[in-house]
Amino acid sequence: MTTGRAHPQAEAERTGFLRPPSFSLSRPNKAREKMTCHSCRIECRKFGKTRKGQQRYRCSQCYKTYSEPRNEYLGGMYTAPEKVEGVINLLVEGCSIRSIRRLTGIDQNTIMKILVFVGHRCQRLLENKCRNVPVSDVQCDEIWGFVGCKEKHNRTGNPEFGDAYCFVAFERASKLVLTWHLGRRSTRDTEVFIEKLNEAASGKFQIATDGFAPYFDAIHMSLGTRVDYAQLIKV
């Protein structure tokens, strides 16, 4: 995949302003100037380049060849930051992993690695930034999904398989997601979720959930008198 972006300096001369640098994902290792033979412990000489343009070296004693280490970027991956950026954009658009593979030619496992890596970073960002947010009206709901197979067909005995519910709490007016929790639709997971909400939201507010019973005790326990609580049951 190529980007049709002009050189920043050339573009600055053409348009009159310098584009702010795109967010820096890269942390390239500084290419080593010298290469020592692993067996002879002597300095190797430059010996052409690989097909991908990396410098090769050859030991003048044992004739073993080496190439310079590849640049590692985001999360120890070798994929160039522009490509990673493209994958993230497609994931955010809701493209499937397989369709991204077809569009970009990047391996499915790499896409999944990027997804997990970016997910963890986003989680950390939300947990660090979304704390003690003053809110007035919060709504909670669960999104159903499943891991591996649906609960009914789960014969693996693996507790990680089956139904998975993503609890989401958001401010009704601004649609800001305050917190979320992934788990089962159980009392314990509801309590964990409401406790997370307790840390994310501050002040006295109004809260509305669906008719799921464990909410009542969990909200009473974690949020106490801080909230006005109502259940919204659709008929």
State in angstroms the smallest separation of the CB of 143 from Zn ion. Answer: 59
In terms of CB distance, is 37 or 114 closer to Zn ion? Answer: 37
Here the tokens at position 61 are: 């004693």
Exactly one of 35, 57, 59, 111 binds Zn ion (CB under 5 A); that residue is 59
Exactly one of 62, 112, 213, 232 binds Zn ion (CB under 5 A); that residue is 62
State in angstroms the smallest separation of the CB of 42 from Zn ion. Answer: 6
Give the C-alpha separation, 17 to 117, whole Å. Answer: 34
Strands 45-49 and 201-202 come out as unpaired
State in angstroms the smallest separation of the CB of 31 from Zn ion. Answer: 21
Q: Which stretch binds Zn ion (CB under 5 A): 27-35, 57-65, 111-119, 172-180?
A: 57-65
Exactly one of 15, 50, 61, 89 binds Zn ion (CB under 5 A); that residue is 61
State in angstroms the smallest separation of the CB of 61 from Zn ion. Answer: 5
**What is the total count of residues that contact Zn ion (CB under 5 A)?**
6
**Across 95-221, where does the E strand assignment appear?**
133-134, 137-147, 162-171, 177-183, 201-202, 205-209
State in angstroms the smallest separation of the CB of 35 from Zn ion. Answer: 11
Place of tokens 């020592």: 36
218 near Zn ion, rule: CB under 5 A: no
In terms of CB distance, is 39 or 54 closer to Zn ion? Answer: 39
Of 173-202, which residues contact Zn ion (CB under 5 A)?
A: none
Give the C-alpha separation, 114 to 92, whole Å. Answer: 12
Give the C-alpha separation, 27 to 20, whole Å. Answer: 18
State in angstroms the smallest separation of the CB of 62 from Zn ion. Answer: 3
Give the C-alpha separation, 135 to 171, whole Å. Answer: 7
In terms of CB distance, is 62 or 125 closer to Zn ion? Answer: 62
Give the C-alpha separation, 185 to 209, whole Å. Answer: 13
Q: Which residues contact 22 (CB under 8 A, 6 or more apart)?
A: 85
Of 22-41, which residues contact Zn ion (CB under 5 A)?
A: 37, 39-40
* Distances from the Cα of 95 to the Cα of 98, 104, 166, angstroms: 8, 12, 20
Give residues in contact with Zn ion (CB under 5 A): 37, 39-40, 59, 61-62
